[in-house]
Amino acid sequence: LQERACAIGVDLGGQSLKLATVDKNGVCHHARQVPVNSEYSADEMTDWLAKQITAQLAETRKHGWSIRGIGMVLPGYMNRQRTRILFAANLAGLNDTDLPEKLAARFELPMGFDADCNGAAMAEYRFGAGRGSQRLTVVTVGTGIGAGVIFDGKLVRNFGHAAGSLGHIIVDPQGQRCSCGGRGCLETKASGRALERLAEQAVSVQSSGMLARLKEEAGRLTGAEVNCALQQGDEVARQIVESIGWWLGAGLATWSAIYKPETIIIGGKVAELGSAYLQAIRRGLTDVGQPFLVNEITVASAALGTQAGVIGAASIFLAQNKA
Ligand SMILES: [Zn+2]
């Protein structure tokens, strides 16, 4: 029975909820994904999450697993005890509510919570591309930019739950207002939203290129269209990827002056842009960073893809290997 031990991982995002039964090697079983109604109030969300988790528990028990606990990651800021959500930009109904505490009270199993960026960091550290790294930063680039930091096997929690807000490091003080209220945040230069903005700008200037054609087919431009153009050698797409990658590297040079990581892992939807994107990040990092701080850093792709969240959430209840 010992080897059938598992934990339930739950990853709540602004658009989808992912659930999985995760074994002690970090492998997902019975994984599923359902769309989230981001308009839900905290009470509606609590009821809905309880129902989804109960179904996952039933499915898991049916297959003979012994469940250690339920781990859940969510977006935004939590209090230090991780019993309250202070601010979640993409799930506004949950702002300033005790959803974690109320949801945990629905289950007899122990339940633990963390921020999504911390979950991804722990997953990559224990089971993915960050194994063996003593000073690790795991960056998640999607609509926004988040980061988790691990020092000597432990998550860094400077304020509330997180090491810091990488997406809101100021890289261009004269630049655009960020949705957070700051000016010139890294997210205005390097997030998935910035990529979409640059692509739309390129099309408005040059209405005959490959991106314009892709926009006509898809109705809008996202990372997927830019990636498609990039793979076909489109110069405009290459410049966009170079720009968002370079700026992320520049932001990481500042981050490195604080954390001096050995390894920086890049995950999230935007990381699907692949090696051209990683090289641009590396260029930004070494163009502006102090050589002593940045030259030795390994920049690598995340290994766990979109499962990092559920694996990291479950790992709250999976014992560390002694290795
Ligand atoms: Zn900001």
Quickly list DSSP for 196-244.
Answer: HHHHHHHHHH-TTSHHHHHHHHHSS--HHHHHHHHHTT-HHHHHHHHHH
Q: How far is the CA of 166 from the centre of ligand 1 (A)?
A: 9
Contact, 186 vs 104, CB < 8 A?
A: no
pLDDT of 161 higher than 80: no
Name the average pLDDT for the chain: 93
User: CA–CA separation, 20 vs 31, rounded Å?
Assistant: 4
Q: How far is the CA of 21 from the centre of ligand 1 (A)?
A: 35
Q: What is residue 92's predicted lDDT score, i.e. its pLDDT?
A: 86
Q: How far is the CA of 178 from the centre of ligand 1 (A)?
A: 5
Q: How far is the CA of 5 from the centre of ligand 1 (A)?
A: 41
pLDDT of 141 higher than 80: yes
Contact, 206 vs 212, CB < 8 A?
A: yes
Distances (CA, A) of 288 to 9, 80, 86, 175, 294: 39, 34, 34, 18, 9
Instruction: Tell me the pairing of strands 85-87 and 111-115.
Output: unpaired
Note the pLDDT tens digit of each residue in 188-232.
999 999 999 999 999 999 888 999 999 999 999 999 999 999 999
User: CA–CA separation, 64 vs 2, rounded Å?
Assistant: 11
Q: What is residue 3's predicted lDDT score, i.e. its pLDDT?
A: 59
Q: How far is the CA of 187 from the centre of ligand 1 (A)?
A: 6
Contact, 210 vs 203, CB < 8 A?
A: no
- Give the lowest-confidence range in 24-33, 62-71, 78-87, 221-230: 78-87
Contacts of residue 270, Cβ cutoff 8 Å, sequence gap at least 6 = 141, 142, 191, 192, 195, 223, 244, 277
Q: What is residue 158's predicted lDDT score, i.e. its pLDDT?
A: 82
User: CA–CA separation, 140 vs 265, rounded Å?
Assistant: 8
Q: Which residue has the higher pLDDT, 79 or 247?
A: 247
pLDDT of 1 higher than 60: no
| pTM of the entire predicted model | 0.91
User: CA–CA separation, 150 vs 296, rounded Å?
Assistant: 17
Q: How far is the CA of 89 from the centre of ligand 1 (A)?
A: 11
Q: Work out the average pLDDT over 129-147.
A: 93
Q: How far is the CA of 167 from the centre of ligand 1 (A)?
A: 6
Contacts of residue 105, Cβ cutoff 8 Å, sequence gap at least 6 = none
Q: Work out the average pLDDT over 130-158.
A: 92
Contact, 167 vs 191, CB < 8 A?
A: yes
Strand partners, 300: 265
pLDDT of 2 higher than 90: no
Q: How far is the CA of 211 from the centre of ligand 1 (A)?
A: 28
Q: How far is the CA of 68 from the centre of ligand 1 (A)?
A: 38
pLDDT of 180 higher than 90: no
Q: How far is the CA of 196 from the centre of ligand 1 (A)?
A: 17
Q: How far is the CA of 12 from the centre of ligand 1 (A)?
A: 22
Q: How far is the CA of 142 from the centre of ligand 1 (A)?
A: 14
Contacts of residue 92, Cβ cutoff 8 Å, sequence gap at least 6 = 38
pLDDT category, 321, cuts 50, 70, 90? low
pLDDT of 28 higher than 60: yes
Q: How far is the CA of 185 from the centre of ligand 1 (A)?
A: 5
Q: How far is the CA of 188 from the centre of ligand 1 (A)?
A: 7
pLDDT of 323 higher than 50: no
Q: Which helix or strand (DSSP H or E) is residue 53 part of? A: helix 42-62
Q: How far is the CA of 182 from the centre of ligand 1 (A)?
A: 5
Q: What is the DSSP string of 277-298?
A: HHHHHHHHHHHHS-HHHHTT-E
Percent of the chain with pLDDT over 90: 83
Q: How far is the CA of 276 from the centre of ligand 1 (A)?
A: 26
Q: Work out the average pLDDT over 256-279.
A: 95
Q: How far is the CA of 301 from the centre of ligand 1 (A)?
A: 24
Q: What is residue 322's predicted lDDT score, i.e. its pLDDT?
A: 44
Helical H segments across 86-182, by residue range: 99-104, 116-127
Q: Give the CA radius of gyration of the chain.
A: 20
pLDDT category, 160, cuts 50, 70, 90? low
Q: What would the two tokens of residue 97 be?
A: 């509510």
Contact, 270 vs 277, CB < 8 A?
A: yes
pLDDT of 150 higher than 50: yes
Q: Which helix or strand (DSSP H or E) is residue 264 part of? A: strand 263-267
